Amino acid sequence: MSKFIIEGGHPLNGTIKPSGNKNEALPALFACLLTEEPVTLKNVPRIQDVLTSCEILRQLGAKVEWLDEETLLIEAKNLDYKKPDPELCAHIRASILLLGPLLARFKKVELPLPGGDIIGARRIDSHLDSFIDLGAEIELTNIINAKLRAFCAGEIFLDEPSVTATENILLFSAISSGTTTLHNAACEPHVAGLCRMLNNMGAKITGIGTNQLTIEGVSGLKKASHRISSDFMEIGSFLCLASITQGQIEITDVNIKDLRFVLKTLKKVGIKPEIKEKSLIVSDQQELITEGDATGRVATIYTGPWPAFPTDLLSVSIVAATQSKGTLVFHEKMFESRLFFTDKLMAMGANIVLCDPHRVVVTGPAKLKKTNMSSPDVRAGMALLMAALVASGTSEIHNIYQIDRGYYQIEKKLESLGAKIKRAKA
């Protein structure tokens, strides 16, 4: 295991480019199972979750080759039907996305239950109910055992706008007969990216970017090349980081359309970057002051399904709020364990009140001090790394495997901005 050693208090300056979107890359990898022809994926983040997914594909018999640092060639011509490796699947939540393509291709699948971050109860009912409606028989024990009786195209209504359930139905229905209409679908940018990739491969999906998707099944998919979009979660993390490190940072390769509500919400924390066509600049002259509501009362930042503020950006925005003048309430509506990392911020000197599993009150600015801590999950790990960069003294973060799962070579990106950070053996 490795750890980060961070000397805090140094201004960060320069230009930083986000990696490809992890949440688009993972379903894109599994989409390659739908064709025997080669598929090229560009701008792929070489993070741990991607490497684990590549290993699962290899274990299933696919050819997986890195053409360069960010380009993958995948050919799933000679797949062998077998149960995916339970140990590999236990490391990533996205392993649930094997259900759709394997069931479409082999008409049966035995799939270990997915792993991933421990941030609360993470239901898979939306997946299972939808596949049953589409003609599958499913038995759930310590594994998911699914068999396809006959594909039943029709109307599917998700009981929640689940990203992975939406993606699973897309992957399954793309090469099935008939037309499936998916209601209450997730419409995040990475879901739209998967739809565009599948259409490039010959699928027929309409309604992209909305909560109603129509999938007209085709007999098979073909080779294609697809570029993964920039990770707007990483961009949001960099915006929060830039705002508290007293330097000037330009974030490039930005799709402003994907960030409209994120930018609107971060204004409440006091983060107001200069917006250019494809970049965002956080000035070293910017003073962080929280914004109240119209009557001057304390504002609340809520998370929710897209286009609401993403839950994955809540942790980093809380750290930014510890350095902003004023008080904010953060309400995490989706996961009951997302906020439990805040005890580590309190130990560093942050003025935070954990009201209940879903709400915290943050008052800033607070002078943070060094500490030794462990990363509980991907997003909390990045938040703790941010806190260490502004704290006085030298901090250590252990279990950085969690950070590596979502952020590619983050220490090198931060070093390029002037951060004092190094990776060492724990």
Give the residue numbers marked as catalytic: 117
End-to-end CA distance of the chain: 6
- CA–CA separation, 345 vs 325, rounded Å? 17
- What SS3 state is found at 205? strand
- CA–CA separation, 62 vs 32, rounded Å? 9
Cis peptide bond upstream of 365, omega within 30? yes
Q: How many CB atoms lie within 10 A of CB 118?
A: 11
| Residues whose CB falls within 8 Å of the CB of residue 276, separated by 6 or more in sequence, listed in order | none
The secondary element (H helix, E strand) that includes residue 155 is strand 155-157
Q: At what angle do helices 314-322 and 232-244 cross, to 10 degrees?
A: 10
The secondary element (H helix, E strand) that includes residue 343 is helix 342-347
Closest CA to 12 of 345, 251, 266, 324: 251
136-140/143-148 β-pairing: antiparallel
